[in-house]
Structure 1
Amino acid sequence: MSNIYRALIVDDEPLARNIIKSYLKRWENIEVVDECSNGFEALKSVKEYKPHLMFLDIQMPKVTGLELMEVIDDPVLVVFSTAYDQYALKAFELNAVDYLLKPFNEKRFGDAVKKLIQKLETGEKSNQQQINSIQEQSEEKLERIVVKKGNKLEVIPLEDILYIEAQDDYVMIYTSDAHFLKAKTMKYFEDHLPPENFIRIHRSYVVNVEKIKQLEPYNKDTQLAVISKDCKLKVSRTGYKKLKELLDF
């Protein structure tokens, strides 16, 4: 008897979800365990049902498919769907992550499913690493940061961020009233945050320049960026030079 694989469908359009469900009916070894209209529902569903497969729309309101994948810890193989062929599809191809370009027919869908099942049967449980590579290679600047708080998603507007601190293979993102751990590198944020607002002032810190109240000397080669009375961040010589160029002082 062949394995039964659990599938999750995530798309904000009911019609798109229904099409995928109808196409999956011919696959006796795939069971649709849930369908979700947004990333908030999907995160809970992944935790509850532990799907093997996920059919995930890229463009969704509030949280995109790629943003959702940033915070999912459970292994799952993903096929993305999108209505926009300009949406970095070359990056998906280069990283061997399958995608469905809407509107797709049953044959194209079947080809994607066959690939997924083949991967599952050879022991592959996740394509998270390839998805991470797509995000790293993207030239698009971030407009917000999605984090996980407990079992829930939280969307942080960039203007709420005070600074980001290196924490080994993670970063800690600080706002005025909370902080969030995220599995991303400092280099990723240095490359993907808008450079007119965020500067890497030190190997350990990327700071929102609008939150700097003043600079004060610390020692011969180091300044301190004063965020608040209780928060002062070291500024390296290189970081100080970047601040001078940006703020023109």
Structure 2
Amino acid sequence: MSGQLRVLVVDDARLARRELRTLLAELPDVECVGEADDVPSAREAIARLHPDVVLLDIQLPSGSGFDVLDALDPLPSVVFVTAYDHYAVRAFEANAVDYLLKPVVAPRLSTALDKVRSQMAEQADAPEPGPDRQVLLAAHDQVFLRDGERCWFVALGEIRRIVVDGNYARVCFRDQNALLARSLSGLESRMEPGLFFRANRNTLVNLRMVRTVEPSIADGYDLGLDDGSHVEVSRRQGRELRERLTL
């Protein structure tokens, strides 16, 4: 994507809007096109200014940030900016690109806007999906993970491996893990091919996280990952691994 990223700031606090404007002014190729402080003014500004992205507070005097998005079609990209972390589930359901907690710092805001750019570039390059075509997730796409009361927004490429755990799938990322009520095959079908590799019946591994490949017993392989953990590649999958990794 090229050109200015046009940003609308929606927050009921004048100081918070000013702080976001100051941070945006320091970023290259970003333009703050306007402000709004409640639900009606935010809806009007979106309809009039057509911003690329809205930095949207959740608690507003006349409703919530979610109310702003109701009945808007099409929706701009949305990055929620809030002092509260317990709205993450609803933010994911509203297809937020990112979720920032106040006070916002410049590197975190820059990362969020980079995600917006990546999403916009992908949408611009992607062919229109047919009525029965599922849009696959790429490495930079944000996914929402919930395990009990714990919630995360994670780029798909940050996931190190996914392992069968009983009737669940355990997703390992950063130094965390989340247990999902999904099958390994179901998760694999949502992802673009090439990022994850089916090492064995019970494990998907992110090939970008592999640091070493060593032969193991029964003509399989042992993959050493960037966190020091190891994944066994079955004999059956060994040939496919060689084809994937060989020049």
TM-score bracket relative to the smaller structure: 0.3 to 0.5
Q: TM-score, normalised by structure 1?
A: 0.47
Q: TM-score, normalised by structure 2?
A: 0.47
